[in-house]
A = this chain, B = another copy of it.
């Protein structure tokens, strides 16, 4: 079950098989059913997740009680509330499985031990987070630059796989639409 993570590590950094063999005991393999909660807003955040298979969304509860999705993650992505993970503080986001999702989970404490034993992994996480931050910079640009309709078209162009996997009401939430508005735009561009 650790294979997808090992492949991902090898892709991003030079690390030999002997070192890779040390990884497995540090991770817990879990399967979440659709709609299961991986992290709940307000709870201490001690874990981060590598998605082996599946799809999750990151969201918070708005003051009006509506869930606001701010991100999705699929295979080969790391996900957590990273501020809370870094400080072992209460999460400001919840994470829920959008479909049946297999993850490799590691606690902050175990990660510290792992990085002491296999410091080469810091090169992997350096690149993983640089890539994530680079994507965030582009997303900020999109949020300033594009109209709501253009945001949908951009998402459809760049992440076609998501369109098939993510329920429309979550996609609408992520794009900052009402579900009705998304439905209207979709009709316009399908017809």
Q: How many copies does the complex hold?
A: 2
A123-B119, A136-B136 known; A86-B130 Cβ under 8 A: yes
A68-B144, A119-B120, A122-B122 known; A92-B133 Cβ under 8 A: no
Give the distance to chain B from A42, nearest Cβ to Cβ, in Å.
14
CB neighbours of A143 from chain B (8 A) = 143
Contact of A176 among B62, B68, B119, B144 (CB under 8 A): B144
Say yes or no: A83 contacts B176, CB within 8 Å. no
Q: Chain A interface secondary structure, helix, strand, loop or mixed?
A: helix
Say yes or no: B134 contacts A123, CB within 8 Å. no
Say yes or no: A137 contacts B68, CB within 8 Å. no
Q: Which residues of A contact B (CB under 8 A)?
A: 58, 60, 62, 68, 70-71, 81-83, 85-86, 92-93, 115, 119-120, 122-123, 125-127, 129-141, 143-145, 176
